[in-house]
Structure 1
Amino acid sequence: MNDGKLAYATCPATEAEESISDEMLLKSVAEGDKTAMHIMFARHRARVLHFIQRTVRNPGIAEDLVSQVFLDVWRSANRFEYRARVSTWLLSIARFKAINSLRERIHESIDQDDVHGIADAGDTPDIALDRKETNGILRACIAKLSPAHREIIDMVYERENSPSEVSEMLDIPLATVKSRMFYARKQLASMLVNAGFEVPTSTRRGKQSHLAACI
């Protein structure tokens, strides 16, 4: 196994391999058993990939993150404390990787929105400047939210996941997701008003603005 890279064939497991529990496999992985690691990868790869894809919405990035997840399993199997199911542990690693990937991309995504807005042929220089300043205010206010509320804003409004999808991805109750959405929007609206910004309900084209979508 190359450090930093994971490449496994996903061959169908034999009946004997299927009978081995995840816990026994992980113990063997912790002892450096590459065959056990191959079985673990084949058994859980599809579920981990599906979980990550629903978060990052990018097949190429998802495949890369899957490799990172199982590389972490190989490196840290000896630190697993068996307080939860192995499959739950795998998805917690996958969630961490996926959310970090989204956080790294959020600023790039917002910057692209700025570029598209400025490049709009229907915008006057004043409108383009106002849109850029609005996005700057929004970025600054989002940055002041708590990590949990920033995460909700990102996953629901930036990545357009449904509350039920976010509930599954974060492994928290749907009611908790909705509560965080409510308080994140409330705090964001308050900060924007304090910044002297009048919250719009729509753009001049009749579509919901990026700002209005968040609050």
Structure 2
Amino acid sequence: MLRLVRNQTPPIPDKTATEVDEYALLQRIVEGDTLAFETFYKLYYPRLFRFILRITRQPDHIEELIQETLLLIWEKPERFNHSSKISTWVFGIAYRKALKSMSRAARSSNNLDVDEYGETIADPLANLAENTETQDWLNCALDILPADQRAVIELTFYHGLPYQEIAKILDCPENTIKTRMFHARKKLQAFAEAKGN
């Protein structure tokens, strides 16, 4: 049973990902600080939502996978061993849970309604019409990739992670990540040429 410890530390104000010291936040979670966990949750929820949606293509399971990922962090924050960034650790947990979910679903195909999730994953500063067209094209293009290649694309281009960190998240050698990226780019290039873009 999880034992909550009341902490006298003042609440952390809402800040952007770059302004929050994730290491201090995680230390407070280790101490049982629920306010620190709430801040951590708000910080990672949108990032995990987008990542899991892109990997699984299972919109019905996103909330469950986010909850499972963040619950594990709440229950066992001491598992972070400082051998990587906190984000690498969190995305690694989410990736493994997403793979298990996809396996359980036996790769049954779900049609993704981009409009339903567009507000969550879209860049609010981009031109709306252009962004919608780009998102539609990108979603179609990413559908042709297997989950492991989608993960590499997502972590590289949307989360800005280097191959070394992605290799830790996906639990494979860095050269495997490079190979997946190479094959993903070839498939996306062929898709673009076929669509006349």
With normalisation by structure 2, the TM-score equals 0.52
Which of 172, 179, 182 aligns to 1:175? It is 179
CA distance in 2, matches of 1:18, 1:166: 23
Matched, 1:97 2:89: no
Which of 142, 150, 153 aligns to 1:165? It is 150
Cα RMSD of the aligned pairs, angstroms, is 3.5
The one of the two structures with greater contact order (alpha-carbon pairs below 8 A, sep at least 6) is 2
Aligned partner letter, 2:62: A
Contact 2:65 2:97 in 1 (8 A): yes
The equivalent residue for 2:116 is: none
**1:83 Cα offset (Å):** 1.1
- What are the residue-to-residue correspondences of 1:43-62 with 2, within 5 Å? 43-62=43-62
SS at match of 2:105: helix
Contact 2:23 2:86 in 1 (8 A): yes
Matched, 1:38 2:38: yes
**1:63 Cα offset (Å):** 1.1
Contact 2:153 2:181 in 1 (8 A): no
Structure of greater Rg: 1
Aligned partner letter, 2:25: L
The equivalent residue for 2:173 is: none
Contact 1:22 1:86 in 2 (8 A): yes
> Which whole-Å deviations, capped at 9, do the CAs of 1:21-56 have from their partners, x for residues lacking one?
101100110111000000000111100111000111
CA distance in 2, matches of 1:19, 1:60: 32
User: Which contiguous aligned blocks of 4+ residues in structure 1 show a shift greater than 3 angstroms?
Assistant: 12-20, 176-179
SS at match of 1:32: coil
Contact 2:41 2:70 in 1 (8 A): yes
CA distance in 1, matches of 2:15, 2:149: 36
The equivalent residue for 1:25 is: 25
> Which whole-Å deviations, capped at 9, do the CAs of 1:45-97 have from their partners, x for residues lacking one?
10011100011112220111001110000011012111111111110001011
**1:164 Cα offset (Å):** 4.8
SS at match of 1:106: coil
**1:176 Cα offset (Å):** 4.1
> Which whole-Å deviations, capped at 9, do the CAs of 1:170-191 have from their partners, x for residues lacking one?
8352424667xxxxxxxxxxxx
**1:16 Cα offset (Å):** 10
- What are the residue-to-residue correspondences of 1:115-194 with 2, within 5 Å? 160-161=144-145, 164-168=149-153, 171-172=166-167, 173-176=177-180
Tell me, which stretches of 5 or more residues in structure 1 are unaligned?
Answer: 4-11, 111-158, 180-215
**1:18 Cα offset (Å):** 7.2
Tell me, which stretches of 5 or more residues in structure 2 are unaligned?
Answer: 4-11, 110-142, 156-165, 168-176, 184-197
The equivalent residue for 1:85 is: 85
Pairs aligned (count) = 123
CA distance in 2, matches of 1:167, 1:17: 21
Aligned partner letter, 1:161: L
CA distance in 2, matches of 1:70, 1:32: 14
Aligned partner letter, 2:145: N
